[in-house]
Amino acid sequence: MTGVADVPARLAAVRAQIAGLCERSGRPADAVELLAVSKQHPAASIRAAYAAGQRAFGENRVQELVTKALELAPLSDLRWHMIGSLQTNKVRELLRVPGLVLLHSLDRVRLADELQRELARTGRHLDVLLEVHASGEPTKHGCPLVDAPALVAHVQANCPAVALQGVMAMGPLAGDPAPTFARTAALRDELRRRSGLPLPVLSLGMSGDLAAGIAAGSTLVRVGTAVFGSRG
C-alpha cells in the first residue's frame, strides 16, 4: 500500500503521463484535467496531494465526501467532484458540501428534477455531467445511450439550475475500452448538435485506461490508484 509520503511523486508521474499522452494524441499538454479520486483514502493523503498542487478531488459516496469536505474546509480552494451514483434522498446533503463544483452522475429525469428543486430552493446552480452507460455491462450505471437526447432535452426545458457541461462514461472492466469511448465521444457530438449546448467536458479514462480515454478526446480523467495507491 502506498504511504502518504509517496503521493507527491506518484502525482507528478501521473501528470507527466497525461502530458505525454496528450502530446502523442496531438493535443496540448494542458488539454486534460486530472481529477484525483480520493475515495477510501484518508484526509492526510488529500493534504499531501494538495501540497503538491492538486486542487480537484473526487468522491463516490455522499457521506464520505461530506466528512472530508468539512475536515478539509480550511483548504478553501479545494474543488470537490461527486463521481458516484446519487440517490435522490441524498441531493440536499450533497448540495451542502463546501467547494462542490461538479456532479458526474446525472443519469435520470427524477434525479434532474430533484436537483432542480433543491438548487432553486437555495438560489444556486450546479455544473453536472450526463453519465451514460456505454459499455453494455450490467454492473455499470448510467443513462442508456438511446435515452440521452431525451434526458438532455428535459434538463434544458425544466431544470434551469442544472448546468449540463458534458458527458461521462466508464470503460469496460475487461477488454479494449476504445469502442466504448468512441461511442461516448460520438454521443457527445450528437448531443451538441441537438441541444446547441457547448458540452465542453468529455470525461473518459481512469488509472487503467488513460491512454484510450485521452486518445478518444477526454478532457477530464479520474485517477485514484495511480495517485494514492491501493485502498485500505
Give the amino acid at 42.
P
* Residue 40 pLDDT exceeds 90: yes
Q: Are strands 220-223 and 143-144 parallel, antiparallel or unpaired?
A: unpaired
CA separation for the pair 122, 180 (Å, rounded)? 37
Per-residue pLDDT of 47-96, as tens digits, reads 999 999 999 999 999 999 999 999 999 999 999 999 999 999 999 999 99
| Residue 231 pLDDT level (bands cut at 50, 70, 90) | confident
Structural domain boundaries of the chain? 4-228
Q: Is the pLDDT of residue 125 over 70?
A: yes
In this predicted model, what pLDDT tens digit does every residue of 163-190 receive, in sequence order?
999 999 999 999 999 999 999 999 999 9
Q: pLDDT above 90 covers what percent of the chain?
A: 93
> What integer pLDDT is reported at residue 140 of this predicted model?
81
Q: Model-level pTM?
A: 0.96
53 alpha-carbon distance from chain centroid: 19
Query: Contact at 8 Å (CB) between 36 and 57?
Result: yes
- Alpha-carbon distance of 123 to 133, in angstroms, equals 31
How much is the mean pLDDT over the chain? 95
Helix axis angle for 43-51 and 7-24, nearest 10°, is 60
Q: Residue 100 — very low, low, confident or very high, per pLDDT cuts 50/70/90?
A: very high
List of residues 6+ apart from 145 with CB closer than 8 A: 132, 133, 134, 183, 187
pLDDT at 232: 56
Residue 61 CA to residue 63 CA, distance in Å, equals 6
Q: Which CATH class is domain 4-228?
A: alpha beta
Quick check: 1 pLDDT over 60?
A: no
pLDDT of residue 137: 83
* For residues 196-208, average pLDDT: 96
Residues near 183 by beta carbon (within 8 Å), at least 6 away in sequence: 134, 145, 169
Q: Which amino acid is at 170?
A: M
Q: Give the span between the Cα atoms of 228 and 160, in whole angstroms.
A: 37
Predicted pLDDT of residue 2: 62
**Long-range pairs, 192-199, Cβ under 8 A, ≥24:** 194/149, 194/152, 194/153, 195/149, 195/152, 195/153, 195/156, 195/164, 197/152, 197/156, 197/164, 199/164, 199/165, 199/166, 199/167
Contact 116, 137 (CB under 8 A): no
